[in-house]
Amino acid sequence: MKIIFATANRGKLREASEILGERFTLLTPHDLGIDEDIPETGETLKENSIQKAMYLYERFGCDCFADDTGLEVDALNGAPGVHSARFAGEGHDFDANIRKLLFELRDVPYDERTARFKNVVTLIIGGEMHFFEGCLEGHIALERGGTQGFGYDPVFVPDEFPDRTVAQLGEEVKNAISHRGKSLRAMAAWLKENLPETEA
């Protein structure tokens, strides 16, 4: 069964493919000739997720899904939140985003740097919309650590591994605990329960 995933990130695509399994063939907007950024103008993660999924569904009428992720830092009153990718300005520059985040938290002790990644997946299948959510609790590190992963991974310390950042965990461990992984596994479970094998 072919399904479109609204991403250009190869890491996210690989993670989704592993979770959904061989029953599904994932296509990306690039595979369908779309290389421009899909609009994300919502005020919440859910709104952005819906917007991206609808962008694909309205163009191709095919089953598709999209996700949006935000980092919520308690000491910053939940910021950057829905603006996580553009925290330091337009351009999705996560190196600049991390620099700004560490600067904003420069006087905050580690115990008070609690934060969480939140993820919302919107699935449109058979013309119907379904939602799946995941969350990963942790702290913002005092400095960067690790070279794997992407986004804020080098400064996010998950509660499950309090001595390492996500960027130091390795892809397999990260996918097992990640906010997006939780959303995608919930979606995979829903698909398995609601789509008989004969439809795939």
Smallest Cα–Cα separation from 124: which of 56, 42, 45, 182? 56
**What burial letters (b/e) apply to 22-31, b meaning 16+ CB within 10 Å?**
eebebbbbee
Q: How far apart are CA 189 and CA 114, in angstroms?
A: 30
β partners of residue 156: 140
Annotated active-site residue 68? The verdict is yes
- CB neighbours (10 Å) of residue 2? 12
Q: Which of 63, 67, 68, 153 is catalytic?
A: 68
Could you give the residue numbers annotated as active site? 68
